[in-house]
Structure formats: structure tokens, C-alpha cells
Structure 1
Amino acid sequence: MVFDIRDTLADDLPAITAIYVDEVLHGTATFELDPPDVAEMASRRQAVQALDLPWLSAVVDGQVVGYAYLAPFRLRPAYRYCVELSVYLAPEARGQGIGRALMEALIARARAMGLRHLIGVIGDSANAGSIGLHKATGFREAGVWRETGWKFDRWIDVVLMQLDLNPDGRPPESPGLRL
């Protein structure tokens, strides 16, 4: 499958919303229960971009089939070098290398920004595809919150994965996020 990774455009938001709504209604990658509308997704994108963080789209034949973004891990200034990475794909785009390309693009952007850690927060310890994708791009497991989410009439784990962009621990060279 031939695809392009690019910065998300406002025109991408209906497709992005549809991808996310499908996951809210049918998947465990998010513990959100009520699907957001396009206006809400636009607001979320705007909040991410206001911090100069990337929000990317994966496009096949002019159609958005996936998206990914970085967001603050926590809002306290001490966490200004740590961001959470999120990737969502349309069902037909899974297993095609698109998720990996989105993740690699975000990792490159995070490095260029002088950030230190990327955190993956994976809903459902049974989500082997997402866990494998994180491992394939250098993430390591940082812990599991057991049975912390209740969705689809069952308890669901949260798997935390972490990628250290500065493993030697030297002092930061950038001011980090403006939190």
C-alpha cells in the first residue's frame, strides 16, 4: 500500500473523527465511551498544536486512513520533556506499515524538539498489535495498570510503554514544552 505521512489539515478532521469514533464504539485502544464529534476533535487538535506539537495524517489515494499525534504526558512543568504518543488507524489500514511510519515520524519530530521521553498508553494488554508496534520502534514496557478501565462489560488493563530519546541522561538542550 502506497501512503503519505503529512501534517493534518482541517479537511482531514471528518475522516479522523470517523476513525476515532470506530475505536470508541468497537475497540479498547481508548477508554472513552461517548464518541466525540468533529468540533470536539478539532478542539483537541488545536490544543495539541498550540503547544507546537505535531498531529499527522496517513493518506492513501487522497483518503485519511490513520492519524497520530504527540500530547503532554502531564501538565506540570517538570514533565515538559515527556510526551504521550497516540496512533489510530482505520481497520483496513492495519498491518500495512502505516502505524509504524506514523510512529517513526513522531519520534523524529520529538527528537528534533529536544524531548526526552515518549510514553505509549495502550488500552488492553491483549492488544498485541499495538504492543508489538511500540516494541518494534524501540519502546520498552514500563508497567501495567491492571484492570483499571471498565468497557464492554469487562475490566481492561493499561500497558505503559516508554521510549527514552536521551538514554545517557545529559541535561536538556531545549526548554521543552511550554506548560
Structure 2
Amino acid sequence: MFRISPLIRITLLSLYVALTVPLPFLSEATEAPVPPALLWVGLSLGAVALYAALSERVVLDARGIQVTYPQWVPSLFRKGWFLPWEEVKALKPRTTGQGGVVYYFSSQSGEGYLLPMRVAGFAKLVRLVSAKTGIDTRDVRPLAQPWMYLILLGFTGLLLLVDAWTIATAVGVG
């Protein structure tokens, strides 16, 4: 079983907090028409939704590859998938709008399944896929490297410092 990388999880959850937590304080300080309590409810629901999206699990076994989510994540919110090894036809690269490359499993029926790339142990995942399917995966690389998330986490930390100052100013401490 492969889970989303802790570095990616922490970075994205921290960025969400940094971008949203000042809003209720600013709403109150500026007497905005949206009450802070409503913003807190919305931000809490958004945090749960983000956490749910980041709870993806990739399971490889003798039968195939499967993307699943915990029981508490509603199936309407995030649907998983299962692809038996004998159905895997190829692993095809696709260029993203930003110039990166993602990979899709192409099935015998012509359907495409996105190769999960943000999991901890991605290199091991790719080796196991190669062993199970016989597909050459030597050129398969993750979309984003860990150093990119470390840089984003660093800037998120700086943003959290600015947030602390903003909140302190909004509540009248600063």
C-alpha cells in the first residue's frame, strides 16, 4: 500500500491554512457582509475535503492496481478505481498544460487510468508496476520533485508568519 507523501500532505494542508485562516479575522475587522462564523464553517468543510483528497491510497496486489480512499470519504466525493494487471495495455505519457508529464495506464478496453504520482515510495511503485506488467518504466519520473514541495513549504512558513501579523493587527493586538 502506498499513501500520499507526508511532505506533500503537510505542505498542501499548511498552504490551505495559510491562505484561509486570516479570512474570518479580516471579515470581522472590516465588518464585511459575510459573518466570520460562516467563514469558519466553510473553511472547516474545505479542510475536511482537502484532507479527504489527500487520504488517497494506492494498493498493488497479485490481482492489479487500485486507488482507494478510507471509508469515511463519501464515494460521491472521490471515486477510486481498480485495474487488473491483465487489462493493462500500456503506460502512456501525456503532457500537462504547465509542461510536465503525467502517465496513464491504457487498458485493453481503451480506458485511461492516471498513474498516482504523489505517493511516498513512487520509485518502488513504478518498479512493481514494471514487474507485474512487463512495461518499461525506466523513464517514468514523478511530476514534482520533493525539493519543489520543500520550497513551497518554506514559502508557506513565511506566509504563516505574515498571517500571524495580519491576525494580530486585525484583532487589535498589533
TM-score by length of 1: 0.27
Return the structure number with greater helix share.
2
Q: Which has the larger radius of gyration?
A: 2
Task: Identify the structure with the greater strand proportion.
Answer: 1
Task: Please give the TM-score of this superposition, normalised by the length of structure 2.
Answer: 0.28
